Amino acid sequence: MRNNPLIPYVLIMAFGIGLIFFMSLDGAGSKDEAHEAGEGGGETTDVAEIDAAAIVQKSCVGCHGGDLTGGMGPALNTGLDAEHVKEVVMNGQGAMPAVIQDEAEAQAVADYIAGLE
């Protein structure tokens, strides 16, 4: 059998396609990571995408108790005013530090807390 002069080109092409495939896998993976980093960094501003319950679980239950009935901080399931909650989470109050910087997130969490009772 004669050596086909096209073989090196076919090999290079196969290698190139494989490389593109793996690079795209890697790209998709880092997009997920970037998305997660965005959530953690509080860059979300689209209200519809904000999961207030998840933020509360992550940022509030440590001090206000797992069911928000009070811990080191006071109970929050007492029908608090949303405006007040928003003000407190963004600026802190007494022994409570400011926990949320993003206004849309603070609003979503405030609405969520105000809806508890």
Number of H helices, E strands in the chain: 5, 0
Q: Which of residues 59, 77, 111, 116 is near ligand HEC by CB under 6 A?
A: 59
Q: Which two tokens stand for residue 81?
A: 């005013």
Near ligand HEC in 26-45, by CB under 6 A:
none
Select from 50, 52, 90, 100 the one that contacts ligand HEC (CB under 6 A).
100
Determine, following the binding rule CB under 6 A, whether residue 90 of this chain makes contact with ligand HEC. Answer: no
Our CB check for ligand HEC shows the closer of 18 and 97 to be: 97
Does position 86 interact with ligand HEC (CB under 6 A)? The reply is no
Residue 98's φ and ψ, nearest 5 degrees, are -70, 120
The encoded tokens of residue 57 equal 């679980």
- Taking the C-alpha atoms of residue 84 and residue 31, their distance in angstroms, rounded to an integer, is 36
- Tell me the backbone φ, ψ of residue 81, rounded to 5 degrees: -75, 130
- Could you list the residues that contact ligand HEC (CB under 6 A)? 56, 59-60, 62-64, 72-74, 76, 80, 85, 88-89, 93-97, 99-100, 109, 113
